[in-house]
Structure 1
Amino acid sequence: MSEDKNTGQLSAAELEDLVASTDTGGRNPTSRQVALLIAGVALAWSLFQVWIASPLPYMFGVGVFSSREARPIHLAFAMFLAYLVFPAFRTSPRRSVPLADWALAIGATACALYLFVFDTALIKSLLGSRLAERPNAPNTTDVVVSVFGILFLLEATRRSLGPPLMIVAMVFLGYTFLGPYAPGLLAWKGASFNAVAFHQWLSTEGVFGIALGVSTDLVFLFVLFGALLDKAGAGNYFIKVAFSLMGHFSGGPAKAAVVASGMTGLISGSSIANVVTTGTFTIPMMRRVGFSREKAGAVEVASSVNGQIMPPVMGAAAFLMVEYIGISYFEVVKHAFLPAIISYIALVYIVHLEALRLGMEGLPRANEPKPLKWAMISFGVTISVLLAIAGGVYYLFAAFQALGSTPNRLLAVAIMLGLAFSAMALLRSRTDEDTRAKVVSTGALVLGIATISAFGLFYFMDLLQATAGGATSWVVAALLLAAYVGLVRYCAAFPELELDDPNEPVVRLPDPGPTVKSGLHFLLPVLVLIWCLMVERLSPSLSAFWATALMIFILVTQRPLFAMFRGQELAGTAKLGWTELIDGLIAGARNMIGIGIATAAAGIIVGAVSQTGVGSVLAALVEFLSQGQILLILIFTAILSLILGMGLPTTANYIVVSSLLAPVIVALGQQNGLIVPLVAVHLFVFYFGIMADVTPPVGLASFAAAAVSGGDPIRTGFVAFFYSLRTALLPFLFIFNTDLLLIDVTPVEGAIVFVVATLAILIFTAGAQGFFIVRSRLWESAALILVAFTLFRPGFWMDMAAAPYTNVDPVTIEETLGAATPGTELRATVAAIDDVGDPVTLTMMIPVGDEPTGAERLEAFGLLVFEQDGKLVSDGASFDSRAQDAGFDFDQTFLSLEVPASQPPRELFYIPAILLFGAIYVIQRRRRTLLGEERAREREAAA
């Protein structure tokens, strides 16, 4: 290895090998035939996944695969490639594939395809029965295939993901057999060999369960979309844009690293690949402006790992949550959006504080802007313009509803667009130099135009569907083609972004205008993906297909189009486009090997939990350890996620911990008077699973960053963990304040929550970093953290000052419901029996409907009650009613019933918090002035 003995920094080739060995397989055979076979299988896998995600099989009636048929094929591809590209040991050959690996690859593929082949009509005609026709009654062949299949999967897991996930899966498998010999609370009756084989391999409860189904149906297309986007040049575009926009600020390269990693996280599900891809450029630049090796690596780690919490992809967790929680993908993205955004804002602020502390300067731009004060003035004007646009758009489009016909509405939209474009043209006609004010004002107008255009697009699509009917899809395709060609023609007027050498010094930053404009066509497939997901509400699979289809078209055509519009030679450009497309399809498949194996191996654990019932045992154990305290159970869950995440990939960690502990947290919260939405619990688990990529001593992302920076990996991990404290704080906050997840909030309330939460996370960051305007004293840091907590959870203090609920007699439930304000909720505490027959106390909410009487409101809720010995008793809940979803059941005795009290607004506690914050600001500003005067006197004395 060409490792620098002083720094431990790796070369570019060794960094590529690091990513390959972690994500895509470190074996690179010299045999052309073997290399072509591996590439061909990866290409076939990508084409298969695109085919089953597309509407084409249903249009032609050929090649339609059910989920039960597609999952074995998906796993067969993953295991075959895993054995060929991941060496068995460190000393195994990297330039050839041993015969043993060929045998293992073929055997693993055969065991996976057994479920597909032996479930066909041909097999039934030959053997008399299909696999699906003998549930829970496997024959000898079924059992043998299942045993070998699980063994092959465990070995593939060890090779591609390391020993930890394999060991955890083996422990759970062993528990299914050795249950009678387990100690005390963990003991269970055990399962037969045939039962375990069927449950784990032949049914959809184990390996081929929900997790592998999500990998097959959803995750692959999103990973492939990201690989194609990166192959087209979007990754380099995002990095260049981030540097051109933020590189001139204090500590600019680090801020650019955060933004670039966030944008790359939109298309990448791997924190390690993100670290190496963006860190290769950002870490050396951070070093040049004054960051130490460890701090430069830690900034890159923190920002890259956070890429997995950025919608719309979020690694694979977003799609798993859809299946596990039973809510739409749109809802998952909505809930995850705000925490991800404020977490990135906080990380930028961390970098800013570090830059202030060390007195760093940014890199110079090609066109140096005018003083910052003009940008600040323009920023104030911009905010006012945006608020005016938002208010105007809201009320104008509300008025559009009264305009009646769609043509009238479109005319109004056209007028507004004309005015907006006129204003922008007026701004562009200015002849003064390129200033921050001009950039910010232009951005404001572009945002306003985009907002108005979005509304216009809604009405245009309504009109198009009403007039074009069945031809709507073709019209939309033609419009997309025109938009794409128009964007390419516009982008071709600007120089192509070249890949920079990270080892060459950066003297000046690129001009942001040409940099941003040179790759605008990359945003088109992202917009198509978001439009299909958020507006058309298509399935994630179909949305990813249309975005991927457009991305394939772009890869094939962008180079010839750019050459044509730039007047360059066309020869060879089409071939280069096809080559990049094939490389992207192969890269997408190789990126999926680890995810496919991880979801299948995690299925073993999930299958063991469902077969043994160990989840309820762990719930009882955790409840005992936490003594029923919800905060302790959250801390235990966080620790477990961190420990498991030290060896498990994020996806597998999320599957395991959410399967074991998510229901426990909800149940314990219910017993302690805290109603915790299931999505909040799943996001809590996911966040701490991501944190494990940072946490020493294993944190793989930290090791990757240290390999780039040449710093110490353990110290890099500790600094990155310290930078990531704001990510660790957020899950605890949104468990107790679900407003942060935008649950049951209006758009106006959501905007207020965003502003307050952003301010709170910045104040918390300043307190945790020990630096605000100047270095903070200990009491100042504590006060800042207290202010942040108050802004995040003002209800905590208000509930102490004034009780949020008033007790009433449960027997008067009908009268109480009738008198309550519609839209509020009553809180009921009941005595119940849990699944194992032990008494528990549950807290549940009863929403107040708008029916005329209390009896009708109770009936609409679906709750049946009767009075017995002066007590109110539940007589059950109607099937599929809100009462049943809340947890009401037969023979539950009401212990209390509480109605919302007339509590003062909890936001009143913002006032003392802001006053305290203002006092700290004044104190530190005065101290900074005194320090400045003292340093000036010292300089004068020295002179």
Structure 2
Amino acid sequence: MPNDRTDLSSGRLARRVALTLAFFMALIPLGHKLPAFGPMPRIGPFEAEPMRGGVLALSVLICVVLASFGRQGRGPFKVLGYLFDTLLITTAAWACWRFYVDVTAMHQSIVFFEPWQAWTSLAGCLVILVMTWRVWGAPLALVAGAALLWFLWDFRGDFVQATTENLWMVLDDGVLGNIMDIVLSTVFPFIILGAMLEGCGAGGSLIRVSFHTMRRFRGGPAHAAILASSLFGAVSGSAVANVVGTGVITIPMIKRRGFSANFAGGVEAAASTGGQVMPPIMGAAALVMADLVGVSYLTVIVAALIPALTFYGALFASVIFESRRLGIEVAETIESDMMVTAQDWRNLALVAIPLAVVIISMIQGASPSGAALTALAVLIPLSFMNPAVRQRPFALVEAFARGGLTFAQLMMAVGAIGIVVASLSSTGLPTMLALQLDALSSQSLTLTLVIAALGCILLGMGMPTLPAYLTIIVISGSAIMALGLSALTAHFFVFYFGVASAITPPVAIAAYAAAAISGGSAIGTGVSAARIGVAIFAIPFMFTFNPQMLLVSAAGGDAGTLDVLLIIVRSGLMIWMLTSAANRFDARRLSLPEAALRLAAAAALISPVAYIHLSAVAVAGLAIVFNRLNFGASADRKQPAP
């Protein structure tokens, strides 16, 4: 029998070693951005070749250490496991070193590669696939593996040159190509900032203030979970991390209020997933989107505002309808552990001020990474206003190291996406897909978008936000833009459905994380999350057909004040019709024909054709008035479950 105490000790040691390595690795890309101060020498910038290769090799080392040292069991299988891990580290180090040497040599003259260099490139890709599977699970690794197999089946030209140049020894579209450069130069400072925001001690205060703010609503803790998750998710880069961070507190309290375990988990999963579409951070996807589309970061977060608020309005409406259905009343008291103190209100500044610094810095012309570093410089001394940080300042060092660890794990996903980019760009598959969708769009644009949306959900299942978005945009982005959409609108369409995959059964990773906390069934929680967050499937169609919802000219959203007000009214009615139909409840339980009528009205409200959506406005208004006049008196009476 293995010694459990030894295994536990090994696991703790592994995490400490990994965090230590992550702390020092994080200094590399951070130093790349720091300017010189007075007589102090500048740390960076570094050349691209050693920067990308060195960080990737260190990331592999960190992830292997974290996975290896806590390995269970004894005997020859454990020894073989250590030998395999050593092989992974050695191969990654060699491949990254050859990247530095060979790409540097390519700057000097034309290089003709040898077969061993092609095999080195393939070996590096295999290491990335193995580590992606370990860190992120099967879905992303399988997608990248399928792309690599497609490349090997359909590569163009000489095998040695094609494999070496396209997959590894290139600064453009390979594993160590442009996407990795964007992540290193733009996303990394925000990952560190997000980790420091979590580590400064404001998370608990954020939840308590949310409960205090929502105490007069029927849903109480369910509404508080939505508010807290929207704020926490704005800086968190993962829906699952958001569920775990806030759900351990909110889900038990939602259940105590009288909601089912599946509904409690579904609310938290949907709200945590929605945090990824909430500006200003959007799980770091806003930064990458700005780079890929070629617009400013401020343009992206302005465009994201109305759709994000619409989604959270839909979540609030779902909880209201469920509260009415169950006959849940406003609680007279608030639980003692949720009482707000003066320090809780002060701790909100630890989140609000750094985010304000980011936005103000961007308005004044700073780059995204420069804005994040400025906010980080403000946050570190500001965090000492929290007594918990003053008592244990080392918590900030731990938070920085956790940010480095998150970054190391993200690098595995970025490497896998690099394989997808290199494989597809060299074989022309996205162009072929674009031609097929373009031919289909001549028959029906709506049907084409529905097919594209289903493809986005399938591709995004099981992946975190940023890898899901990048994978989908690489594979289907050009096909969607071929339908006549602006680049920004197409990216938002892809992004929303990539995010939605986290609550879409059967692979609803955010819902499964919530089910582990709530005690509900995994599939039942996933179905509840999809029902509660059903608006996330409709909002992309709303801003695709009505780009004024995105507000910015880059999306074709130039509109006057009246147009914006009208789209807000239509969006509000759309989520009212959609969420009440999904819950089959408004002031009373809705019959199937009533729910179907509301779904039809919600779909018609999306149409850009004036007489269609204006007719739908009239139908929705009549449905609401009829419901209120005839059944308003029964709204407070408990109804039987459907």
Instruction: Give the partner amino acid of 2:559.
Output: V
Residues 151-209 of structure 1: per-residue CA shift (max 9 Å, x gap): 21121111111223222222222222322xxxxxxxx7565133212221110211112
Matched, 1:137 2:112: yes
Matched, 1:250 2:250: no
1:289·1:362 contact (CA, 8 Å) conserved in 2? no
Q: Tell me the equivalent position of 2:361.
A: 532
2:243·2:269 contact (CA, 8 Å) conserved in 1? yes
* Aligned residues: CA RMSD: 3.1
1:791·1:913 contact (CA, 8 Å) conserved in 2? yes
Instruction: Give the partner amino acid of 2:580.
Output: A
Q: Tell me the equivalent position of 2:44.
A: 63
Instruction: Give the partner amino acid of 2:467.
Output: A
1:365·1:508 contact (CA, 8 Å) conserved in 2? no
Residues 869-924 of structure 1: per-residue CA shift (max 9 Å, x gap): xxxxxxxxxxxxxxxxxxxxxxxxxxxxxxxxxxxxxxxx64x5554344323432
CA distance in 2, matches of 1:240, 1:36: 31
Q: Tell me the equivalent position of 1:781.
A: 595
Matched, 1:744 2:579: no
CA distance in 2, matches of 1:934, 1:356: 8
Scaled by the length of structure 1, what TM-score is found? 0.62
Q: 1:603-682 maps to which residues of 2 (within 5 A)?
A: 603-623=418-438, 628-667=443-482, 669-670=483-484, 676-682=485-491
Structure 1: 5+ residue stretches without partners:
1-26, 121-129, 180-187, 367-505, 564-572, 671-675, 801-908, 936-943
Higher-strand-fraction structure: 1
Of 83, 103, 111, 2:64 maps to: 83
CA distance in 2, matches of 1:150, 1:95: 25
- Residue 707 of structure 1: CA displacement? 0.6
Instruction: Give the partner amino acid of 1:227.
Output: A
Q: Tell me the equivalent position of 1:148.
A: 123
CA distance in 1, matches of 2:580, 2:13: 58
Q: Tell me the equivalent position of 1:178.
A: 153
Residues 444-468 of structure 1: per-residue CA shift (max 9 Å, x gap): xxxxxxxxxxxxxxxxxxxxxxxxx
Instruction: Give the partner amino acid of 1:104.
Output: L
2:238·2:465 contact (CA, 8 Å) conserved in 1? no
- Residue 353 of structure 1: CA displacement? 0.8
Of 609, 618, 625, 1:796 maps to: 609
SS of residue matched to 2:381: helix
CA distance in 2, matches of 1:308, 1:259: 13
1:306·1:340 contact (CA, 8 Å) conserved in 2? yes
SS of residue matched to 1:65: coil
Residues 275-334 of structure 1: per-residue CA shift (max 9 Å, x gap): 111110111101111111111000110000111111122123222222221111111111
Q: Tell me the equivalent position of 1:594.
A: 409
What number of residue pairs does the alignment pair up? 622
- Residue 647 of structure 1: CA displacement? 3.5
- Higher relative contact order by CA 8 Å / sep ≥ 6: 1 or 2? 2
Closer/same/farther in 2, CA of residues 359 and 118 from structure 1, 3 Å limit: same
Instruction: Give the partner amino acid of 1:754.
Output: I
Of 722, 735, 743, 2:531 maps to: 722
Of 116, 120, 140, 1:165 maps to: 140
Closer/same/farther in 2, CA of residues 586 and 915 from structure 1, 3 Å limit: same
Instruction: Give the partner amino acid of 1:920.
Output: A
Structure 2: 5+ residue stretches without partners:
1-6, 552-556
SS of residue matched to 1:361: coil
Of 550, 573, 580, 1:766 maps to: 580
Q: Tell me the equivalent position of 1:203.
A: 170
Closer/same/farther in 2, CA of residues 920 and 215 from structure 1, 3 Å limit: same
2:570·2:617 contact (CA, 8 Å) conserved in 1? no
Closer/same/farther in 2, CA of residues 630 and 926 from structure 1, 3 Å limit: closer
Closer/same/farther in 2, CA of residues 131 and 723 from structure 1, 3 Å limit: same
Instruction: Give the partner amino acid of 2:450.
Output: I
- Residue 616 of structure 1: CA displacement? 1.9
CA distance in 2, matches of 1:522, 1:711: 32
Of 286, 293, 296, 1:325 maps to: 293
2:350·2:379 contact (CA, 8 Å) conserved in 1? no
Q: Tell me the equivalent position of 2:275.
A: 307
Q: Tell me the equivalent position of 1:38.
A: 18
Q: Tell me the equivalent position of 1:358.
A: 326
Scaled by the length of structure 2, what TM-score is found? 0.89
- Residue 61 of structure 1: CA displacement? 4.5
- Residue 574 of structure 1: CA displacement? 5.4
CA distance in 2, matches of 1:797, 1:267: 38
1:598·1:649 contact (CA, 8 Å) conserved in 2? no
CA distance in 1, matches of 2:221, 2:373: 35
Q: 1:374-453 maps to which residues of 2 (within 5 A)?
A: none
Closer/same/farther in 2, CA of residues 597 and 931 from structure 1, 3 Å limit: closer
CA distance in 1, matches of 2:206, 2:635: 39
Closer/same/farther in 2, CA of residues 518 and 752 from structure 1, 3 Å limit: same
1:364·1:508 contact (CA, 8 Å) conserved in 2? no
Closer/same/farther in 2, CA of residues 768 and 797 from structure 1, 3 Å limit: farther
Q: Tell me the equivalent position of 1:576.
A: 392
Matched, 1:927 2:630: yes
2:53·2:100 contact (CA, 8 Å) conserved in 1? yes
CA distance in 2, matches of 1:315, 1:508: 29
- Residue 729 of structure 1: CA displacement? 0.4
SS of residue matched to 1:618: helix
- Residue 787 of structure 1: CA displacement? 4.2
CA distance in 2, matches of 1:228, 1:537: 24
- Residue 508 of structure 1: CA displacement? 8.0
CA distance in 2, matches of 1:92, 1:658: 41
- Residue 592 of structure 1: CA displacement? 1.9
- Residue 623 of structure 1: CA displacement? 4.6
Instruction: Give the partner amino acid of 2:349.
Output: L
Instruction: Give the partner amino acid of 2:57.
Output: A
1:301·1:694 contact (CA, 8 Å) conserved in 2? yes
Of 754, 765, 787, 2:568 maps to: 754
Q: 1:807-826 maps to which residues of 2 (within 5 A)?
A: none
Residues 379-430 of structure 1: per-residue CA shift (max 9 Å, x gap): xxxxxxxxxxxxxxxxxxxxxxxxxxxxxxxxxxxxxxxxxxxxxxxxxxxx
Q: Tell me the equivalent position of 2:96.
A: 112
Closer/same/farther in 2, CA of residues 163 and 934 from structure 1, 3 Å limit: closer
Residues 624-675 of structure 1: per-residue CA shift (max 9 Å, x gap): 56664322221222111222222333323322321222222222x24xxxxx
Matched, 1:346 2:314: yes
Q: Tell me the equivalent position of 1:558.
A: 385
Q: Tell me the equivalent position of 2:4.
A: none
Q: 1:695-734 maps to which residues of 2 (within 5 A)?
A: 695-734=504-543
- Residue 69 of structure 1: CA displacement? 3.9
1:136·1:198 contact (CA, 8 Å) conserved in 2? no
CA distance in 1, matches of 2:494, 2:290: 15
CA distance in 2, matches of 1:201, 1:51: 25
- Residue 756 of structure 1: CA displacement? 4.2
Q: Tell me the equivalent position of 1:399.
A: none
